C-alpha cells in the first residue's frame, strides 16, 4: 500500500516537539548550564577563573572544528541515526564532568559537552525542523524556541538546586542520566529523517499542491559560502555568540559586582528567559514578513542596549532590564539563524551549511569568557568594560545594513568551477 494514499496525519508537528525536547536538553552543554558549576570547579580543582576560561576556550574551539563534519554526517546518515548517537554520547560526556579531578580531564569534558551539546545536538535538532517545514518554518521555529528557551532559562535554578542537594559532581551525573532517559528512547521510537521518507511533504502539503509552491534553490556548501549573505549573517552571529557566552559564563561575577547575592543572580535568568522566549517567537514569525536586514539590525540593537544597561544593573528592576535585553538578543539571533539559512540555501545540504556556520558560532563562544575575563583585568570595572563591549554589536548593526538574500549563480551566468556540486 502506498504511504501517500489515504489521509495520514502530518508528522512534522510531533517531530517539532521531539526536536524541541532535544534542544532543551542541550542545557548542560550551554554556557547557561555550565555557569552554576563555575565556582565549584575553580574551588575543587584549585584553578583560577582565567584558567577555567582558558579550559573552556580550548574545549569549545576543538568542539567547533567538528561541526562541518557533523553537518555532512547528518546529511548523509539522516536525522534519526545521528540524533540517537549524538544524544547518547552527550549524556555520557555530561556524566563524565562529575568525575573530573585534574585540569586535563576538565578540558576533555569541555570538549565533549560543547561539541555534542551546544554544537551537534542543537544542529541535528534544528536541521530536523528545517526539513519538515518550509512556508511554516518561521512559525515552527518560533514555537520551538519559545518552549526550549523557557526550559533552559529555568535550568540554572534546577542545577543550583541539584548542586545544593547532592553536590556538584552528582548534579552532572543526574543531568547526564536525564538526557539518556528522555531524549534517546524518544528519538529511537519516533524520529524520522524527512517527510519524503513517509510519503509526506513539508508543512503537511498535499502532493497535488506541490506545483503551486515556489521552487526552492538548493545551494551546496561551496555555493553558500561564496555569498555575501552567508558571511554577513555568520559574522553578526559571531558577535552575539561571543558576547552572550562571555557575560553568561561570568554572570554570577557580574551580578555580584552589581550588588546581587548568588540567589538573586540566579533569579535574574528569569527575565532573560522572558526576553528569549518573546524575541525568539517574534523574530522567527517576522522572518517571513520583514527584511532580514531590519531584523538583524534590531537584534543587535538589543545587545548594544544590554551592555549600556549594565551600568544601572542593581537588585530589582535594573538587573531585570539588563537581563531582559540579553534575552532579546539571544532569542532573536537564534531565530534568525534557524530560519534564514534554510530559507536562503534550501535543505538538501542544510546540515553541512549550518555545520560551517555553527563552527564559527561555537568558536566565537569559546573566546567570549576570555574577552570578559581579560577585559576586566584591564579595566578593573565591569561597567567600563560593558561600555567598550557595546561597540562590537554597534559595528555589527552597520554590517547588517548590507544584508540581502543571496542569488545562486547558474550556468547561464558564470560557469561553475570544476568539481562543484
CB atoms within 10 A of CB 179: 26
Sign of CA dihedral 33, 238, 367, 314: negative
> Cell 534542544 identifies what position?
23
Are 149 and 273 contacting, i.e. CB atoms less than 8 angstroms apart? yes
Residue 3: the pLDDT is 44
pLDDT at residue 343 is higher than 80: yes
Residue 377: the pLDDT is 87
- Determine the CATH number of domain 12-198+216-400: 1.20.1250.20
> Cell 529555568 identifies what position?
154
Residue 207: the pLDDT is 67
CA 267 to chain centre: 22
Buried b (16+ CB within 10 A) or exposed e, 68-78: bebbbbbbeeb
Residue 86: the pLDDT is 97
DSSP symbols for 286-309? HTTTS-HHHHHHHHHHHHHHHHHH
Q: Give how far Cα 153 sits from Cα of 22, 71, 113, 149, 300, Å.
A: 15, 27, 18, 6, 21
Is residue 409 very low, low, confident or very high in pLDDT (cuts 50, 70, 90)?
low
Residue 4: the pLDDT is 43
Mean pLDDT for the stretch of residues 147-155: 82
pLDDT at residue 5 is higher than 60: no
pLDDT at residue 92 is higher than 90: yes
C-alpha cell at 282: 517574534
pLDDT at residue 150 is higher than 80: no
pLDDT at residue 373 is higher than 80: yes
Is residue 412 very low, low, confident or very high in pLDDT (cuts 50, 70, 90)?
very low
CA 80 – CA 404 distance, rounded (Å): 34
Domain ranges of the chain: 12-198+216-400
Per-residue pLDDT of 267-317, as tens digits, reads: 888 898 889 889 988 998 888 788 999 999 999 999 999 999 999 888 888
Angle at Cα 119 formed by Cα 59 and Cα 341, nearest 5°? 140
**283-287 long-range contacts, Cβ below 8 Å, gap at least 24?**
283/331, 283/332, 283/335, 283/336, 284/138, 284/139, 284/141, 284/142, 284/145, 284/335, 284/336, 284/338, 284/339, 285/138, 285/139, 285/142, 286/138, 287/138, 287/335, 287/336, 287/339, 287/340, 287/343
CA 170 – CA 99 distance, rounded (Å): 9
Query: Which residues are CB-neighbours of 303 under 8 A, at least 6 positions away?
Result: 239, 240, 243, 244, 325, 326, 329, 390, 393, 396
Residue 125: the pLDDT is 95
Amino acid at each position: 500500500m502506498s504511504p501517500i494514499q489515504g489521509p495520514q496525519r502530518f508528522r512534522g508537528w510531533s517531530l517539532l516537539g521531539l526536536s524541541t525536547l532535544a534542544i532543551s536538553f542541550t542545557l548542560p552543554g550551554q554556557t547557561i548550564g555550565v555557569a552554576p558549576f563555575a565556582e565549584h570547579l575553580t574551588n575543587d580543582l584549585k584553578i583560577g577563573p582565567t584558567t577555567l576560561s582558558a579550559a573552556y576556550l580550548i574545549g569549545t574551539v576543538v568542539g567547533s572544528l567538528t561541526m562541518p563534519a557533523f553537518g555532512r554526517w547528518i546529511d548523509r546518515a539522516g536525522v534519526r541515526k545521528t540524533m540517537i548517537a549524538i544524544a547518547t554520547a552527550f549524556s555520557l560526556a555530561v556524566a563524565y564532568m562529575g568525575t573530573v579531578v585534574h585540569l586535563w580531564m576538565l578540558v576533555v569534558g569541555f570538549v565533549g559537552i560543547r561539541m555534542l551539546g551546544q554544537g551537534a545536538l542543537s544542529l541535528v535538532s534544528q536541521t530536523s525542523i528545517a526539513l519538515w517545514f518550509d512556508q511554516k518554518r518561521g512559525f515552527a521555529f518560533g514555537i520551538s524556541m519559545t518552549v526550549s528557551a523557557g526550559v533552559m532559562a529555568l535550568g540554572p535554578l534546577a542545577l543550583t538546586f541539584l548542586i545544593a542537594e547532592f553536590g556538584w559532581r552528582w548534579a552532572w551525573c543526574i543531568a547526564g542520566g536525564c538526557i539518556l532517559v528522555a531524549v534517546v528512547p524518544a528519538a529511537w521510537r519516533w524520529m524520522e529523517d524527512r517527510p519524503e521518507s513517509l510519503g509526506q511533504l513539508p508543512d503537511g502539503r498535499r502532493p497535488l499542491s506541490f506545483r503551486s509552491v515556489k521552487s526552492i534553490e538548493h545551494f551546496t556548501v561551496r555555493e553558500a559560502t561564496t555569498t555575501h549573505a552567508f558571511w554577513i549573517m555568520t559574522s553578526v552571529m559571531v558577535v552575539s555568540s561571543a558576547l552572550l557566552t562571555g557575560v553568561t559564563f561570568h554572570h554570577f561575577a557580574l551580578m555580584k559586582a552589581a550588588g546581587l547575592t548568588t540567589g538573586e543572580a540566579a533569579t535574574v535568568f528569569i527575565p532573560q528567559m522572558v526576553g528569549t522566549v518573546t524575541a525568539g517567537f517574534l523574530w522567527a514569525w517576522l522572518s517571513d514578513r520583514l527584511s532580514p536586514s531590519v531584523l538583524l539590525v534590531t537584534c543587535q540593537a538589543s545587545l548594544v542596549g544590554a551592555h549600556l544597561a549594565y551600568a544601572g544593573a542593581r537588585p530589582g528592576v535594573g538587573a531585570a532590564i539588563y537581563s531582559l535585553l540579553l534575552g532579546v538578543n539571544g532569542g532573536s539571533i537564534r531565530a534568525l539563524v534557524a530560519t534564514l539559512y534554510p530559507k536562503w540555501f534550501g535543505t538538501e545540504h542544510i546540515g553541512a551549511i549550518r555545520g560551517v556556520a555553527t563552527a564559527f558560532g561555537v568558536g566565537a563562544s569559546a573566546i567570549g569568557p576570555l574577552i570578559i575575563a581579560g577585559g576586566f583585568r584591564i579595566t578593573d570595572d565591569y561597567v567600563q568594560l560593558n561600555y567598550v563591549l557595546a561597540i562590537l554589536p554597534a559595528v555589527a548593526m552597520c554590517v547588517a545594513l548590507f544584508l540581502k538574500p543571496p542569488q545562486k549563480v547558474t550556468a547561464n551566468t558564470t560557469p561553475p568551477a570544476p568539481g562543484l556540486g
